Amino acid sequence: MAKATGFICLLCLAQHKINCQELEPRAYAALPKDLNAIVFAYGFSKGNVLNDPSRPIKDLSITANNFAAGYLHTFGLAGKLARVQVTVPFMLLAGHAELNGRDTSASRTGFGDARIRLGINLTGIAAMGKREFAQYTQRTIVGVSLIMTVPTGLYLKEKLINIGSNRWAFKPEIGVSKRIKRVYVEAYGGVWFYTINHEYLGDNTLEQKPVFSFQVHASYYFKNKMMVSINTTWFNGGTTTIGGRPAGDLVDNWRVGATWALPIAKQQTIKLQFHIGAYTSSGYDYNVAVLGYQYLF
């Protein structure tokens, strides 16, 4: 029997700007149509959370408290299972860094960029009602998604560190999920594309080339539907220019983590997730833990 345990991406809720570093299992999980879910999440992260190589910052250390709410809805589209997710983060940042040789500290509080994910499972599962879904057993699912971040977050154009990004981002992605008894093995590959930020440190233009990302997950379900998962992601690219001048890129970055999910009542689940930097060539280097609550109806 299938397990209706798809989750809204909690790591993405907590990390508003680190789009390429998603690390979420079961993104293409089998679900019945006409399912709704609400999620509340809290994430704590510390380290080089916001710094990419385009910024003249050294020894950046930020403590971030991240709160988020999200909504998921599944539906049928041309007989296929489709879903839409909307998430809105709120962040409290505090940290210090060396900026152009000068020690500095700052804090920011506000909403981050909203995220929308549209997805459809192309093969492996049709759009089924809850009764029909109860008899379904997953084998192999292939799906595609389009993920978007919307520039709704707090952005101060005269500041180097911001919560919002002041630009749109789009990621087409393909994912495969294979069930082997109680284990679900998954792999996703996609590319992030970014629009231009025309208000970087005033009226400068910041442009970024695409970032390639790849995730692999292995999840095990116990008889009580508790899940444990090992997760990893790799991303590369993102050459950045400011005013047409090269400013840095993200090269060979690799992160690993784990996920634990436990049903606590009918249609209710809590979820704990963390990930750390296994290898950072340049750019982000931080640790994060996220606690989430999900209610299905």
* Residue 236: domain span: 10-296
Question: Could you tell me if residue 4 is inside a domain?
Answer: no
Looking at residue 124, which CATH number applies to its domain?
A: 2.40.128.130
Question: Could you tell me if residue 253 is inside a domain?
Answer: yes
Question: Could you tell me if residue 77 is inside a domain?
Answer: yes
Q: What is the pLDDT of residue 240?
A: 86
Tokens of 247: 């400013």
Question: Could you tell me if residue 238 is inside a domain?
Answer: yes
Number of domains in the chain: 1
Question: Could you tell me if residue 71 is inside a domain?
Answer: yes
Q: Could you give the CA distance from residue 243 to residue 134 in angstroms, rounded to a whole number?
A: 56
Cβ–Cβ under 8 Å, residues 25 and 229: yes
Question: Could you tell me if residue 1 is inside a domain?
Answer: no
Cβ–Cβ under 8 Å, residues 275 and 284: no
Question: Could you tell me if residue 191 is inside a domain?
Answer: yes
Tokens of 90: 């709120």
Query: Radius of gyration of the chain from Cα atoms?
Result: 19
Give the predicted TM-score (pTM) of the model: 0.89
Tokens of 10: 């909690």
Which single residue is written with the structure tokens 């992605």?
Answer: 173
Question: Could you tell me if residue 172 is inside a domain?
Answer: yes
pLDDT by residue, tens only, the chain of 297 residues: 445 455 555 545 444 445 556 788 999 999 999 999 999 999 998 876 654 544 555 566 778 899 999 999 999 999 999 999 999 999 998 877 666 666 667 789 999 999 999 999 999 999 999 999 999 999 999 999 999 999 999 999 988 778 899 999 999 999 999 999 999 999 999 999 999 999 998 999 999 999 999 999 999 999 999 999 999 999 888 888 888 888 776 667 888 999 999 999 989 999 999 988 776 665 567 788 999 999 999
Cβ–Cβ under 8 Å, residues 212 and 237: yes
Q: What is the pLDDT of residue 192?
A: 94
State phi, psi for 12 to the nearest 5 degrees.
-70, -30
For residue 47, give the nearest of 292, 232, 208, 283 by alpha carbon: 283
